[in-house]
Structure 1
């Protein structure tokens, strides 16, 4: 146990952590068991609603609706 690699993360005091490291190189307090979120943004592509193309399309529709409302208002006067 004393010969195992150490975490080495900077603590609040500014010194390196001396807790034993897990296989990911950090201790249980500085690295956790979970490696983190998956790489990339796969969740945004599930429905396609949040892609850049879909957002541009919705913005264009909003602009067209705004223009239509203004035109109707001008005609009504």
Structure 2
């Protein structure tokens, strides 16, 4: 029986990697990679903002997406 488990997530601009951790050891055989990273998330969020037409122009929508990305980056660096 395992006493603790977790999941590491590495989200970069060009891709995402996840790896399960059980009892403090990375299960390297179970690592999963995806080519979708923060650039793809930024593009998707920008597309949603523009498509919904919240009364904002393209420039304001881009600024919102950049700010959201910076906030997510800061939250990911917090030591919890």
TM-score of the superposed pair, with normalisation by structure 1: 0.29
More helix by share: 2
Say which structure, 1 or 2, has more relative contact order (CA 8 Å, 6+ apart): 2
More strand by share: 2
TM-score of the superposed pair, with normalisation by structure 2: 0.28
Higher radius of gyration, 1 or 2: 1
